[in-house]
């Protein structure tokens, strides 16, 4: 049986492509409408793995994905970075000049700001998913409505490409994190990149006081720990904050462990979300 992996969106989404890139083409992608449903599917054991987009080089952080990571019972075991090319899709016979509305995920629309500004007569409308937008256009059969999505979506839903490479920069990329249930069985490919080194993700909650964030960052800086990501999200109680941190390396070296001990002593709570190999391109499973 093929491995089932949950992702947010419809079949044909960029997340599906990321799933097939990290695992292999024979994986069984499980579409979920909401990010939280991806986490629920993994925590419940319905699927052994899930994939969440966490940031884009143009649009920045995908905040709902980080809220899923904050929930207990999940572990980060890998990452994949996917080049993102956006295509304008329409029903057969549609034209760019005839479009009056284009729909897509809000993060995708944010990556295509220059294209949209050059076409002020086209209204941009946010929906829950890029491939979901393509599916809606195909079902609606309205030549005045288009979708911004991956080329894979055009092939799946029988749409034609009206324009290509809509993204503001040619090096547009999205980073995804691979998750499984905490203390669950290892996924195929978890240890396939031992030569790539390690990254570690933390969830830290601080008090609401001046200098609280500095107090947790200072031990990491003094220990020579290189942060690669810092993201703030609301905590459980009003005006408290959770910080997602990623850094190069694993907690096992003595210097890193000493730094983390100091962070634990200064923070309200610290949880290691996972230690995993950074993405170096290629497919994990061959």
- Statement to judge: residues 23 and 58 lie in one domain: yes
Backbone φ/ψ region at 141: left (φ over 0), alpha (ψ -120 to 50), beta: left
- Classify residue 188: in a domain, yes or no: no
Q: What's the pLDDT band for 253 if we cut at 50, 70, 90?
A: confident
- Classify residue 283: in a domain, yes or no: no
Range in 82-86, 224-228, 277-281 with the lowest mean pLDDT? 277-281
- Statement to judge: residues 58 and 177 lie in one domain: yes
- Catalytic one of 176, 243, 244, 247: 176
DSSP state of 195: G
pLDDT in tens, 192-228: 655 668 999 999 998 888 898 999 999 999 989 999 9
- Statement to judge: residues 47 and 112 lie in one domain: no
Cα–Cα distance measured from residue 266 to residue 282, given in angstroms and rounded to the nearest whole number: 40
Cα–Cα distance measured from residue 96 to residue 103, given in angstroms and rounded to the nearest whole number: 14
pLDDT in tens, 24-51: 888 999 999 999 999 999 999 999 999 9
Whether 174 sits among the annotated catalytic residues: the reply is: yes
Question: How many separate domains does the chain show?
Answer: 3
Output the six-digit token pair for 227. Answer: 């942060």
- Statement to judge: residues 80 and 91 lie in one domain: no
pTM of the full predicted structure?
0.92
Comparing C-alpha atoms, which of 101, 79, 89, 62 is closest to residue 18? 79
- Statement to judge: residues 202 and 264 lie in one domain: yes
- Classify residue 285: in a domain, yes or no: no
Q: What's the pLDDT band for 283 if we cut at 50, 70, 90?
A: very low
- Statement to judge: residues 254 and 134 lie in one domain: no
**What pLDDT does residue 284 have?**
45
H/E element, 119: none
Q: What's the CA angle centered on 176, arms 174 and 182, to 5 degrees?
A: 170
- Statement to judge: residues 142 and 27 lie in one domain: no
Domain around 22 = 4-84+173-181
- Give the domain CATH number at 265: 3.30.70.260
Cα–Cα distance measured from residue 5 to residue 29, given in angstroms and rounded to the nearest whole number: 5
- Statement to judge: residues 21 and 158 lie in one domain: no
Beta-carbon count within 10 A of 229 CB: 16
- Statement to judge: residues 66 and 97 lie in one domain: no
The DSSP annotation for 6-64 comes to EEES-TTSHHHHHHHHHS-TT-EEEEESSHHHHHHHHHTTSSSEEEEEEEETTTEE-HH
- Catalytic one of 7, 115, 130, 174: 174
- Classify residue 129: in a domain, yes or no: yes
- Statement to judge: residues 128 and 243 lie in one domain: no
Whether 176 sits among the annotated catalytic residues: the reply is: yes
For the chain, the average pLDDT equals: 92
Please, how many CA atoms are within 13 Å of residue 239, restricted to the half-sphere of its CB? 3
- Classify residue 187: in a domain, yes or no: no
């Amino acid at each position: 049986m093929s491995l089932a992996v949950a992702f947010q969106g419809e079949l044909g989404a960029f997340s599906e492509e990321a799933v097939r890139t990290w695992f292999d083409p024979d994986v069984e992608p499980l579409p979920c409408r909401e990010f939280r449903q991806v986490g629920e599917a993994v925590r419940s054991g319905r699927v052994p793995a899930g994939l969440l987009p966490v940031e884009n080089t143009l649009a920045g952080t995908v905040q709902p994905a980080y809220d899923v990571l904050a929930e207990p019972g999940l572990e980060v075991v890998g990452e994949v970075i996917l080049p993102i090319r956006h295509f304008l899709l329409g029903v057969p016979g549609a034209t760019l000049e005839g479009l009056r509305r284009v729909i897509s995920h809000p993060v995708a629309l944010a990556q295509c700001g220059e294209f949209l500004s050059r076409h002020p007569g086209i209204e941009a409308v946010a929906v829950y998913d890029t491939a979901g937008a393509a599916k809606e256009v195909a079902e609606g059969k309205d030549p005045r409505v288009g979708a911004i999505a991956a080329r894979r979506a055009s092939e799946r839903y029988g749409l034609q490409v009206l324009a290509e490479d809509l993204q503001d920069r040619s090096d547009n990329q999205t980073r995804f994190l691979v998750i499984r249930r905490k203390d669950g069985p290892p996924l195929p490919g978890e240890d396939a990149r031992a030569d790539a080194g390690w990254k570690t993700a933390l969830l830290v909650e601080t008090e609401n006081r001046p200098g609280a964030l500095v107090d947790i960052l200072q031990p990491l800086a003094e220990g020579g720990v290189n942060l690669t990501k810092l993201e703030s999200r609301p905590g459980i109680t009003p005006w408290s904050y959770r910080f997602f941190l990623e850094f190069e390396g694993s907690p096992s070296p003595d210097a890193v462990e000493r730094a983390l001990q100091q962070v634990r002593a200064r923070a309200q709570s610290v949880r290691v979300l996972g230690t995993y190999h950074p993405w170096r391109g290629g497919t994990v499973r061959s």
